[in-house]
């Protein structure tokens, strides 16, 4: 684990496809104003240069609001912009290597869809777990499904924060929160909405 504490309660993961013509920076700013506590920048189909330039721009916004910015998968981008941390999936950087290269002052989150993956990630020093997909999702089609019961078992088996991910929205959020997890990760429930500020506020209100 790192030395960094963070509020994982309303964790936004970006997906520019959801935004149609809207600007990512402006959308993130509205989401933060609505109550998002942490932002993960996720880009899968851009050049390194484009990812870097986008990350620099987004970090100016998250820094302004004192919100941690986590980079998905790309440790080089996280290092280059001095991001708050890195999120790694099971096909990304191995946790131990990521910690070795990032040091103890960066947050490292790991995706887990089984109890075994969750326990291993915790043992290797992950700061938090992204567990899902708890509901089916159009964003990450490769994510295995995790039932709310399994989510609860994982939460009770680890000591690090657990963030639920996958298809979470204003309608099913209470069910997810009932498992006792530390936060929810959302994409479309904020970024696909016409009123991003209001969508984030509504989720924030349910979490309170």
Catalytic residues, which ones? 42, 111, 140
Query: DSSP per residue over 147-161, as a string?
Result: -HHHHHHHHHH-SS-
Strands 183-186 and 107-112: unpaired
Under 8 Å between Cβ of 155 and 187? no
Buried-exposed string 108-143: b where 16+ CB fall within 10 A, e elsewhere: bbbbbbebebbeebbebbbbbbbbbbbbebebbeeb
Under 8 Å between Cβ of 123 and 21? no
Q: Which is nearer to a second copy, 90 or 150 (CB)?
A: 90
Of 86, 168, 94, nearest in space to 133 by CA: 168
Nearest distance, CB of residue 79 and a second copy, angstroms: 6
Q: Which is nearer to a second copy, 112 or 190 (CB)?
A: 112
Residues that bind a second copy (CB under 8 A): 47-50, 52, 73-76, 79-80, 90-94, 97, 101
Nearest distance, CB of residue 115 and a second copy, angstroms: 21
Nearest distance, CB of residue 47 and a second copy, angstroms: 4
Q: Which is nearer to a second copy, 64 or 97 (CB)?
A: 97
Q: Which is nearer to a second copy, 8 or 93 (CB)?
A: 93
Nearest distance, CB of residue 98 and a second copy, angstroms: 9
């Amino acid at each position: 684990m790192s030395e960094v504490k963070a509020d994982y309660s309303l964790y936004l993961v970006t997906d520019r496809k959801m935004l149609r013509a809207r600007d990512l920076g402006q959308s993130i700013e509205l989401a933060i104003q609505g109550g998002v506590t942490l932002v993960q920048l996720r880009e899968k189909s851009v050049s390194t240069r484009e990812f870097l330039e986008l990350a620099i721009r987004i970090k100016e916004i998250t820094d302004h609001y004192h919100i941690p910015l986590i980079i998905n998968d790309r440790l080089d981008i996280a290092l280059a912009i001095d991001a708050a941390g890195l999120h790694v999936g099971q096909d990304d950087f191995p946790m131990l290597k990521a910690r070795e290269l990032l040091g103890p002052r960066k947050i490292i989150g790991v995706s887990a869809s089984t109890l075994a993956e969750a326990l291993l990630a915790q043992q290797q020093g992950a700061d938090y777990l992204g567990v899902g997909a708890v509901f089916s999702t159009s964003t990450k089609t490769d994510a295995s499904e995790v039932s709310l019961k399994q989510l609860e078992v994982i939460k009770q088996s680890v000591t690090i924060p657990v963030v639920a991910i996958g298809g979470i929205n204003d309608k099913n959020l209470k069910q997810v929160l009932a498992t006792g997890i530390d936060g929810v990760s959302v994409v479309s429930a904020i970024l696909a909405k016409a009123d991003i500020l209001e969508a984030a506020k509504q989720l924030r209100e349910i979490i309170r």
